[in-house]
Amino acid sequence: MIILAIDEGTTGTRCICYDRDQRPVCSASREFTQHYPHPGWVEHDAEEIWEATHEAASTAMHEGGISARDVAAVGITNQRETTVIWDRHTGKPVRKAIVWQCRRSADICARLRSQGYEEAVHEKTGLVLDPYFSGTKLAWVMENEPQLARRAEAGELCFGTIDSWLLWRLTGGRVHATDVSNASRTLLFDIHRLDWDPELMAMCGVPAPIFPQVRESSCVFGETDPSSFLGIAAPIAGVAGDQQAALFGQACFHPGMTKNTYGTGSFVLMNIGGEPRISRRGMLTTVAWSLGGRTTYALEGAIFITGAAVNWLRDGLGIISEVSEIDELAAQVEDTGGVYFVPAFVGLGAPYWDPRARALLIGMTRGTGKAHLARAVIESMALQTADVVEVMQEETGVPLRELRVDGGASVMDMLLRYQADLLGVPVRRPVVSETTSLGAALLAGLAVGFWKDLEEIEERWAVEREALPHPGAAERVRVMRRDWKRAVERCLEWAGEDAEAGV
């Protein structure tokens, strides 16, 4: 028997089958199309996402020799905040999905701030008024597509993030639901009461009939429809947003336990226990998961650019031909030669939250070479993470004991060594690197008894690589942090000067 995990990301869908030892036994992935109808707008075709999910699951099961009867349960993890609207009767999307990256609702956010909603939103949701989240995307649809607004008010339409859309299709239209972790990313959900908030819904002009039911992250949502999903009749028993699923997949079950996913950007999440703590210094407060009647919360630091900076070295500057070459290139020099790189290509995220900031490369001399730039890029990933962790520790009063890492860039041993030195704690990369899909599988497996409890999951979590802080690194780290903060200050000052000049 296996658990089938559906990991629906921003550029494609991956399906992975896990056995009782929490090991992936087979997997397959399918990409789908990115649509850019206007500058700053990003859309997906929800039907294409469903087709990619179907194809990926079929391929994975075929290659692994998995039959429909072998599937004990299905788990879903997904790109968060992406907004899907579909017809309640036909099950067909009524427009393309608005992706989390889409900035079309920036003016709505500015208007709501000017109307004094910012503090209420922050207190109730733990989030900030930003186009990133689903609520203002829905507001944009209600304001700009009046025919859909009328149909939503009449109860003819369903709204959901990608998990809700997949639940609907997997169950043949029988289930319209989401879990608390995804609901907490909409800007419309009170994370204290764990329910949709009428004031926030009215703020965005979104009618109540459109919303999904909110359930725990580990429970039976419904059963797959065998006629539409590969002959499988199995419970869908685990749902979580991608970063929360990765926290669960890393077995960060106790307050203070922290993970970082180094992807295109990075997402640092710290388990803060059973009570929400609203950050005053740039962190987001989010629901991590809910199971067995208990809700766990997390602080989240969203870093916009980490791994994408490596792609810039390849595609923008042409100093490497493959992403994998950066480690070898950076190893050609002992340090950056005083060069610092602030990768604010799309502004700075946590803990600074300045959308006007732009990337800065500082400290170069005539002796600076491409190896120094490569090393500065790797250092910037670790330094940004250290900034976020520093704030998390100060706000919670909980000292970090280790950092668990995953994501594509976590394969770089040099990055892990930098990170361990900067944080002064062990940095641990697990044997199973697909922690996001593993988290979804674990949540589903717990709900159906495939795994007994959290203790069993903790016992099976294993380290593949551990980087320990170098005992003589303290002075070097002090200088790095000081000079890095100076570079960030220059970046922010420049952004402020541009704003004052009206640029």
DSSP annotation string for 257-316: -EEEEESSSEEEEEEEESS----SSS-EEEEEEEETTEEEEEEEEEES-SHHHHHHHHHT
Average pLDDT in the chain? 92
Q: What is the pLDDT of residue 483?
A: 95
Same domain for 87 and 220? yes
Q: Average pLDDT of 8-19?
A: 91
**Which domain-ending residue is among 192, 212, 243?**
243
Q: Average pLDDT of 23-27?
A: 93
Q: Using one digit for the tens of pLDDT, what is the confidence trace for 340-353?
A: 999 988 788 888 88
Same domain for 396 and 302? yes
Q: Using one digit for the tens of pLDDT, what is the confidence trace for 56-109?
A: 999 999 999 999 999 999 999 998 989 999 999 999 999 999 988 788 888 899
Q: Of 12 and 372, which is predicted with more confidence?
A: 372
**Which domain-ending residue is among 243, 272, 307?**
243
Give the count of domains, the chain: 2
Supply the DSSP symbol for 413. Answer: H
Range of the domain at 102: 2-243
The reply to whether the predicted model has a pTM over 0.85 is yes
Which of 130-134, 196-200, 489-493, 498-502 is predicted most confidently?
Answer: 196-200
Residue 497 pLDDT level (bands cut at 50, 70, 90): low
Same domain for 255 and 223? no
**What own/partner pairs with CB < 8 Å and gap ≥ 24 does 12-15 have?**
12/52, 13/49, 13/52, 13/53, 13/56, 14/56, 14/434, 14/437, 15/53, 15/56, 15/57, 15/59, 15/60
- List the beta bridge partners of residue 3: 18, 73
Same domain for 31 and 57? yes
Same domain for 256 and 228? no
Same domain for 211 and 293? no
Beta strands 427-430 and 463-467, pairing class: antiparallel
Q: Average pLDDT of 39-56?
A: 92
What CATH number is given to the structural domain containing 24? 3.30.420.40
Q: What is the pLDDT of residue 144?
A: 96
pLDDT at 502 over 60: no
Residue 472 pLDDT level (bands cut at 50, 70, 90): confident
Same domain for 317 and 195? no
Q: Average pLDDT of 181-200?
A: 96
- Supply the angle between the helices 474-500 and 370-396 in degrees, to the nearest 10: 90
Joined together, the tokens standing for residue 370 give 């491409």
Supply the DSSP symbol for 403. Answer: E
**Which domain-ending residue is among 211, 243, 275?**
243
Same domain for 279 and 191? no
Q: Average pLDDT of 10-25?
A: 92
pLDDT at 492 over 80: yes
Joined together, the tokens standing for residue 236 give 């869908």
Same domain for 255 and 237? no
Residues of the chain above pLDDT 90, percent: 75
Q: What is the pLDDT of residue 106?
A: 85
pLDDT at 495 over 80: no
Q: What is the pLDDT of residue 352?
A: 87
Residue 433 pLDDT level (bands cut at 50, 70, 90): confident
Supply the DSSP symbol for 3. Answer: E
- Burial class of residue 18, CB neighbours in 10 A (0-12, 13-18, 19+): buried
Same domain for 262 and 154? no
Same domain for 169 and 53? yes
Q: Using one digit for the tens of pLDDT, what is the confidence trace for 362-391?
A: 999 999 999 999 999 999 999 999 999 999
Joined together, the tokens standing for residue 409 give 């860039």
Q: Using one digit for the tens of pLDDT, what is the confidence trace for 269-299?
A: 999 999 999 988 889 999 999 999 999 999 9
- Beta-carbon contacts of 178 under 8 Å, excluding residues fewer than 6 positions away, are 160, 161, 163, 164, 167, 212, 213, 214, 215, 239
Q: What is the pLDDT of residue 138?
A: 96
Q: What is the pLDDT of residue 499?
A: 47
pLDDT at 503 over 50: no
Q: Average pLDDT of 171-190?
A: 96
**Contact call for residues 154 and 94 (beta carbons, < 8 A):** no
Same domain for 230 and 261? no
